Amino acid sequence: MAMGVLVVGSIGDIGLVGLAQRFRGQDVHYLLTGQGDVVQLGRYGVSRVYQLTTGIDEYSFSETLTDLVNRGSYSIIITPVNRFYRTAVPMAAQRLSAPLLTDVIDVKPIDNELEVVLNSFGNRAQVTVKVTGRVLLMAPPARFKPSENPVNASIEPLQPRVVNVVKVVSTEGKAKGGVRIEDAELIVAVGRGFRRREDLKLAFELAEVLGAEVGCSRPIAADLKWLSEDHWIGLSGRRVRPRLYIAIGISGQPQHLAGMMESRTVVVINNDPNAPFFRNCDYGVVEDLYSFIPVLTRRLRDILKR
């Protein structure tokens, strides 16, 4: 197999060249989506740029990428991690019969093997794996910084292979009342400690006094459907990083913690002193939410005059 690293992304993903540079002695080429300064890519040692200026969907992109990888016999393909690539790249990997590793934070080529370090379990662990042969790596561009190694980059316009397998039939706005929990500075999050849907009003009253958004654990949105999915926080929900996170009646399983670990101050209210969340908070209150929350809300209303 010929050697070579293909970096894929817009000019804003240039950080990925830093990861590509760890494959010493290998040519680095770039599949550039959209417009971008090719000279800037050359400054970091990218010797060939394939430029794709036509906007295409994930399916056509995976076909186009597969063709290019086969044509150039690239052994390492590096792409950003985002919603578009999370759809497109697995399809390309399947067509290329190559493994795909996501959330890559480091690589170390050793002889014919490649050691890859991945963020895993919602960033709570790092896993090191070894692979041989062609591999596709998805990595966060901002994590890497390419060093200068100026070359003259050649540029080749890339014709996409368009496949019409999926057609957008209609697009609807989200229902009113939806929240952007990711942007919230203050969050009151509810879990299965609430016995009935009506009881959530205790949390909404507290949130109103604080000027907070209401978030929830997965069962509240996914199983019970007491709140819409845009409130759902965690590994499979939204990632949040508020100044204050108040978790009420949430046990604190790793999948929930994965979505809120970057909160600045965490307060946990739970009637079980052994709830795992108490090991991951700044302030822990062992109380029954039904007696504690109304009192807390009243006191805060008095203090904040709301």
Ligand X SMILES: Cc1cc2nc3c(=O)[nH]c(=O)nc-3n(C[C@H](O)[C@H](O)[C@H](O)COP(=O)(O)OP(=O)(O)OC[C@H]3O[C@@H](n4cnc5c(N)ncnc54)[C@H](O)[C@@H]3O)c2cc1C
Residues that bind ligand X (CB under 6 A): 191-193, 217-219, 234-237, 249-251, 253, 255-256, 259, 270-272, 275, 288-290
Cβ nearer to ligand X, comparing 163 with 179: 179
Tell me how far, at minimum, the Cβ of 103 lies from ligand X, in Å.
Answer: 15
Cβ nearer to ligand X, comparing 29 with 238: 238
Tell me how far, at minimum, the Cβ of 213 lies from ligand X, in Å.
Answer: 16
Tell me how far, at minimum, the Cβ of 193 lies from ligand X, in Å.
Answer: 3
Nearest to 34 by CA among 62, 8, 55: 55
- Which tokens go with 119? 């963020």
Task: Give one word for 108, left, alpha or beta, with left for phi > 0 and alpha for psi -120 to 50.
Answer: beta
Cβ nearer to ligand X, comparing 46 with 275: 275
Cβ nearer to ligand X, comparing 13 with 103: 103
Are the CB atoms for 61 and 169 separated by under 8 Å? no
Tell me how far, at minimum, the Cβ of 181 lies from ligand X, in Å.
Answer: 12
Cβ nearer to ligand X, comparing 60 with 270: 270
Distance CA 292, CA 301 (A): 14
Match 């680095």 to its residue by tokens.
28
Q: Is 194 helix (H, G, I), strand (E, B) or coil?
A: coil
Are the CB atoms for 137 and 77 separated by under 8 Å? yes
In terms of C-beta density within 10 A (0-12 exposed, 13-18 middle, 19 or more buried), how is residue 302 classed?
exposed
In terms of C-beta density within 10 A (0-12 exposed, 13-18 middle, 19 or more buried), how is residue 144 classed?
buried
Nearest to 246 by CA among 203, 300, 295: 203
Are the CB atoms for 28 and 154 separated by under 8 Å? no
Distance CA 26, CA 110 (A): 14
Tell me how far, at minimum, the Cβ of 163 lies from ligand X, in Å.
Answer: 31
Q: Is 168 helix (H, G, I), strand (E, B) or coil?
A: coil
Tell me how far, at minimum, the Cβ of 197 lies from ligand X, in Å.
Answer: 14
Tell me how far, at minimum, the Cβ of 6 lies from ligand X, in Å.
Answer: 32
Task: Give one word for 225, left, alpha or beta, with left for phi > 0 and alpha for psi -120 to 50.
Answer: left
Tell me how far, at minimum, the Cβ of 220 lies from ligand X, in Å.
Answer: 6
Q: Which residue is nearest to ligand X (CB)?
A: 234
Distance CA 125, CA 109 (A): 21
Nearest to 87 by CA among 165, 142, 7, 157: 165
